[in-house]
Amino acid sequence: MAISNLSTAQTPLLDDASLYYKGRPVHRSNSGGWRYASFIIVVEIAERFANYGISSNLITFLTGPLGESTAVAATQVNAWSGASSLLPLLGAFIADSFLGQYRTIILAFLLYILVKQFPFLLLREFIMPGICNSSDQSTDNIILSSSAQFQVTLFFFSLYLVAFGQGGHKPWVQAFGVDQFDRQDPEECKAQSSFFNWWYFSICAGTFITLWILTYIQDNLSWTLGFGIPAIVMVVGLLVFELGTTTYIYSIKGDEENPFLRIGRVFILAVRNWKTTSSAIAAEEEARGTLPTESSKQFKFLNKALLAPDGSKEQGKVCSTGEVEKAKTVIRLAPIWVASLFYAIVYAQMITFFTKQGATMDRSITAGFKIPAASLLSFISLTIMVFISIYDRIFVPLARALTRKPTGITMLQRIETRMLLSAISMLIAILVEMRRLKTAEECGLVDKPNVTVPMSIWWLLPQYILSGLSDVFAMVPKELRSVGLALYLSIFGVGSFLSSFFISAIEKMTGEGGQDSWFANNLNRAHLDYFYWLLAALSAMGLALYLCSAKSYIYARGSTL
């Protein structure tokens, strides 16, 4: 993962698709490269610091200072997480269609900073004082005054503005970093590969550090400070990003259409040409020199998009063979996408119920130091950092020797492994929660939710490690690399919303008649183990659906995955 030493002597102009600041031609000797790509890595670290500074411990804040019930807080965290995953799709469209990468990143940073200051000020001036003055000390729940409730509403509004800011940041920062390297230069191609390695390492390392520092500050010092520090870090990140403004390489947007529009046009033309005969399609394929393949024979109705209704072959009125194949890949991936939602639902529990479980357990490291329950999320990042190298250097070569495939195992096998690891982590979570409940019962702590259950929080570690290990097997199909980010993010976005829906529905069904629900505020009387059994069953269903879908999946022409 070493950074390459790039020579700047005798450096030519880059290709015509890149420009220097204010439209001037690019010279490699004074622009782009590792020096300026490193600024962009710093930006990503700052964003991760800010994002996880909120998301990782939000469940603790909502059920603690804000006094929300466990079920309501988990529902809100999942809904916000879903929005954070889906809004980058909107940000990508805005950047691609109107603003461009650089302006979108700057505006997202400014929005990030402004709205992160907003909850910081609300906490300091209104929410925390309002809670202290209006809480009912005789009950476990905090009753807010109408004015405090309004401020809490503003707090949630600012959280969703943070998600909107993330929507402008996430899709383009990495792509902007890649643009700093000349793809036509062999040395810089190697440097670009190194950039990807450092990029992911920096994301994981930044997340790991954040989850230990900020969660400790929030749990033990001040929530106001814990939410204020990320805003300061984002200011620093913006200043670092601005250092390279005059020397960044800016890619020129070509005439190529948005991939979603190209794929959508395939379906529209296929419907408009529904009367087109098979012989006409075969003649068009022969005229284009397209040889029949197993891929081209599947979903043949989309091949009608190769012809225009009026017989014209002008650009924009007909689709290319490649566009038709991508549209077919979308259909092939649809059942796989649905099956992956079950994985995403399980993943959504990492920042909600897993954290709440840990808060009830023994978190002592020394006599006077307890780790924050949310800090165990850091082991997901640590697992990725450790096992990504093991995967590349040990697992892939061994698998390649056995399967004779360049990638060791196929894309479908990687997804299958990921879903299997997720199901196993859920089974482990069930066993741990059953043991926690039994320990609480044996120690007479069922009705003492504020007393620590004498069971080490490290019992939760395996389920976090398996979650991180499953991330190592994450992969986007090569045939859809241009829209892969959208598919990947949409899985987690929709999965989080589904998790929110399930929690609300189960809370309503199991809490009727005043009985303790599966998500009772007193987790010693709750039944998270029942909920985990449900998720394990859904994971098994998702894996079965995936295996059935994978059998009928046909790789596009030229794919090596």
Please identify which residue in the block is written with the tokens 């006094």: 67
Same domain, 265 and 394: no
Domain annotation covers residue 10:
no
Same domain, 515 and 539: yes
CATH number for the domain including 387? 1.20.1250.20
Residues 174-229: pLDDT tens digits? 667 767 776 666 666 666 666 766 777 778 888 888 888 888 998 888 887 887 78
Strands 361-362 and 453-456: parallel
Q: Which structural domain range is residue 162 located in?
A: 20-124+149-256
Same domain, 359 and 287: no
Going along 188-269, which residue ranges are E strands?
250-251
Same domain, 276 and 364: no
Same domain, 238 and 282: no
Domain annotation covers residue 6:
no
Residue 505: the pLDDT is 93
Residue 137: the pLDDT is 40
Residue 480: the pLDDT is 46
Domain annotation covers residue 501:
yes
* CA dihedral angle for residue 124, residue 127, residue 128, residue 134, rounded to 10 degrees: 150
Domain annotation covers residue 530:
yes
| Mean residue pLDDT across the chain | 76
Residue 433 and residue 448 in contact, taking contact as beta carbons nearer than 8 Å: no
Domain annotation covers residue 305:
yes
Whether the predicted pLDDT of 35 surpasses 70: no
Q: How many domains does the chain have?
A: 3
Domain annotation covers residue 492:
yes
How many Å apart are CA 483 and CA 192, to the nearest integer? 21
How many Å apart are CA 485 and CA 383, to the nearest integer? 22
**Burial label, 515 (beta-carbon count in 10 A; 0-12, 13-18, 19+):** exposed
Same domain, 308 and 335: no
Same domain, 282 and 431: no
Residues 307-354: pLDDT tens digits? 766 555 555 567 777 778 788 878 877 888 888 888 899 989 989 999
Question: Structure tokens of 466?
Answer: 């398996």
Identify the residue with better confidence: 63 or 190.
63
Whether the predicted pLDDT of 106 surpasses 70: yes
Whether the predicted pLDDT of 506 surpasses 70: yes
Q: How many CB atoms lie within 10 A of CB 126?
A: 17
Q: What is the reported pTM?
A: 0.79
Please identify which residue in the block is written with the tokens 């040889």: 291
Domain boundary, last residue among 213, 230, 256: 256
Domain boundary, last residue among 231, 256, 281: 256
Same domain, 55 and 87: yes
Same domain, 67 and 170: yes
How many Å apart are CA 44 and CA 60, to the nearest integer? 25
Residue 458: the pLDDT is 93
Domain annotation covers residue 86:
yes
Residue 237 and residue 46 in contact, taking contact as beta carbons nearer than 8 Å: yes
Residues 126-161: pLDDT tens digits? 455 544 444 444 334 444 555 556 667 777 877 887
Return the closest-CA partner of residue 339 out of 484, 549, 546, 550.
546
Same domain, 202 and 335: no
HSE toward the beta carbon, residue 24, CA cutoff 13 A: 10
291 to 141, 286, 321, 327, 478: CA distances (angstroms): 69, 7, 11, 18, 21
Mean pLDDT along residues 249-262: 64
Beta pairing partners, 453: 361
Residue 236 and residue 125 in contact, taking contact as beta carbons nearer than 8 Å: no
Domain boundary, last residue among 256, 283, 301: 256
Least confident of 5-14, 300-309, 532-541: 5-14
Cβ-proximal residues to 489 (8 Å cutoff; 6+ apart), any chain: 85, 86, 88, 89, 170
Distance of CA 408 to the CA centre of its chain: 25
Same domain, 265 and 249: no
Same domain, 230 and 307: no
Domain annotation covers residue 204:
yes
Residues 419-430: pLDDT tens digits? 899 899 999 999
